[in-house]
């Protein structure tokens, strides 16, 4: 959300999409929301608060706030983790993330 001339950052629209995901895929289906630029933190708050996952990073947003550039992806991830903590939502470990996404561990054989 927040892409100019595309998807507005609107709580009613967000809630409609979440209801639609639950109707089509069930309430246990994993989902994620993403906000572009200044809207990233808003969508992180809404998604985490509504039980979904959050996308964050410099690919979508380069600022921590109106006046400060994010020094790294880690700073944006830290902010998302703080939001998750406020909502009582622990951050997934890499193993848990792979399980949520249905990915398998890749092992490399020594040559």
Residue 72's pLDDT is 94
50 contacts 18 by C-beta, under 8 angstroms: yes
Quote the number of domains for the chain. Answer: 1
Which strand (E) or helix (H) includes residue 101?
A: helix 94-101
Task: Determine the structural domain holding residue 78 and report its residue range.
Answer: 11-101
Q: Give the helix ranges, DSSP H, for 36-93.
A: 40-49, 73-86
Query: Residue 33: pLDDT above 90?
Result: yes
Q: Is residue 35 part of a domain?
A: yes
Judge whether 62 lies within some domain.
yes
Residue 5 inside a domain? The answer is no
Q: 43-90, pLDDT tens digit by residue?
A: 999 999 999 999 999 998 898 888 899 999 999 999 999 999 999 999
Record the pTM. Answer: 0.84
Whole-number pLDDT of residue 101: 85
Strand-pairing partners, residue 3, are: 7
Could you tell me which of 72, 71, 79 has the C-alpha nearest to residue 55? 79
83 domain residue, yes or no:
yes
pLDDT beyond 70 at 111? no
Q: Is residue 2 part of a domain?
A: no
Q: Cβ atoms within 10 A of the Cβ of 85, count?
A: 12
């Amino acid at each position: 959300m927040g892409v100019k001339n595309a998807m507005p950052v609107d709580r009613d629209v967000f809630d409609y999409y979440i209801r639609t995901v639950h109707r089509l895929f069930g309430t246990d289906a994993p989902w994620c929301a993403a906000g572009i630029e200044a809207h990233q933190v808003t969508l992180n708050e809404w998604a985490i608060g509504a039980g979904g996952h959050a996308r964050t990073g410099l690919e979508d947003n380069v600022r921590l706030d109106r006046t400060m550039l994010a020094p790294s992806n880690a700073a944006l991830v830290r902010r998302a983790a703080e939001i998750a903590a406020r909502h009582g939502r622990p951050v997934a470990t890499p193993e848990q993330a792979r399980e949520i996404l249905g990915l398998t561990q890749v092992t490399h054989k020594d040559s």
